[in-house]
Chain A
């Protein structure tokens, strides 16, 4: 029985009319990135290597961004397909549909910023990262580009695993220290688990539809196979995004990777999980049973709260940012879960609003998280450490870096003038809109989500006040922090661009919102929209003009003028001209750095209030000194990472225990080995003689 396998390759590329087709730009971007991956490790000097990598990635990002903008404008969804007729398993099929173009927008922002900051970072970093970092970074971006636009199971899975592979080499870039290797191993094992889960999911979809191409996965009804596909895909994507029970790998991986790499990984790699989840929720699956939505929503809300709780307790700057990524991914997945729930209960317009909130928050998070990680990279290079309890007073020495970090902090805590507020505001609106659906469970869950979002919003403000205040303000707590110098100006340009992007995205929000809603409307078949059509006077649904971020920013700016006029120039004098005096410390003259609040002190009240969840552990060591009355007491308090302690370690321990037990079957005696053969023979013969 011969299968329909012909021979040779056929590639159906639509003949583009004008040169500037989005597809040609995308192909150019892919080839540029491929070239950079190969060319980056070649030059011997480290400087030229990072320059080659930087230019390659930047051009790739620009091209991808341009093709995305063009695709959104013209509303095309061009296809690029190389199908090897020999076997349907191996095929290369990309499609620039609306979801992919928004992914490419975020991709462009992150890749350009990371590319611009790479040369300065590698020049200034103390330990020389391994030779392949530049090329691995461009491989990471290349595979992200492919994952975003893939339209065929094998292309997606191959790009997905290459993405994890590139991530592994980036995390272990500084592989001479032990913690980087351990972080790399846990990262790679969990990344492989996400790969395996996606394998299973696409295999189930193949079993259901008989094809690997995404064209045949259009709004599949919720058969058992499709449910398996959804659940496995969701678990895989949740693990990749780092949602709570599966987040163990994330903080160490982002901490150990060099700053541009962790910016790229948290800025855009975790977003691929978001866009693939959106593809499942919007394209592949028809509105499924309600428990799908609840699963996504609860996991998102859980990660939102616990993520920010752990972020607040962290004293390492990059781990703090990593946990805050978990929180933001939690927000995005909550929006997706809400959208799925609304689709199931038929409120399509509200669902589109929720999905739009998810997409916008992904874009915003990509911007400000990359800004914060790049800034933390400069802090690490210039101040030599990431431990906040040894930093402080950097605002005086690293003026611009701390200013841009402040802009990032404002944006990430979703404070009004900047883009973080806009996307959270949209999510609040869709949540409040859901209050008008029917179903007691849905209403309670929505109310709970609103309260969790408000709580995590407040905690986010607390976290980033601590991050900004302890790292950059007050007195330097260590010698290294005292001698920190400002990063080279070339390194500050990407930070400035990203800060502008934060403001720009806020101002462009209304048009972006309209574009996303239009794009999503084409994807989701218009179901009879029961909820929103009846209550006409419901003014929940914001018309795109209702929230005018420009108006908010203008009001705040104008109202700043009143106090400036009242102060008659005293406020606006230059800092040097301001008279200086000692700080009030109950009359005690010299305030030393030790008297300032540390990161632990800032987080202490909340640590005690949430102690049941955080389980703080207090470590007090007393060392006798010459002066008997005053022993040297060192105090430290650690938060026990519950998931690692009660989920990962027991599983690892059990597997190794079991593995150790099983090894006795190979004890070495030949007689036992022959006894195995005899036993199997006897067992099978008995079975054969018993069965008919």
Chain B
């Protein structure tokens, strides 16, 4: 497929990127492009200007904050997460999940920031971020703000990041004392998610986020027991989409099964 005409710029600083995004109506940030390019090939979307973030090295760092928080730059690729010693030490689930996304070539290009800002309901990271309590740092003309995962995802392809803003980094609390789990039913091994669920347990409490069942991850908090979590999910009265891969009823069922499995994993890892 072939893209419609588009203009391209590759700024060398975040400020320059922000200026370009606000100066051009219909400008979009280009990160790894592993989804945006395809959607543009289908001409299902046609941004007028692409602002390539490739040269913004400050967005490619993975560091630990003084408080022990893991700070991941938005332009870090899935492969970066898989191979990062900091990730392995601070929050290994990130690497576990990143290694399940698509395939080697896509993991070599696709970025955490792109995955989150895309907010495709089948993505792996939105529910994971919601479950582990990540916060997103968004910068724009108005300066910098921090958004909790719960408020970050607004809808399909819609997030708290305005067209003239950038997600710069994701801050993730260290695993200390908690356990994380992730379970998914995918089309073929490591394929597109039909339903996925991420869970974190700490001091008897579980936070579970289920993906692919609504426009944004569905988050529940309950006692860290499978039954309690299943009840909580049931309590949300999900109305999942019905598509070629799964009926609404099947997705509703998988949401409960996978939430329980994610919690089981999390409990095993926390002990």
Q: Do A and B come from one complex?
A: no
Task: Please list the residues of chain A having a beta carbon within 8 angstroms of any beta carbon in chain B.
Answer: none
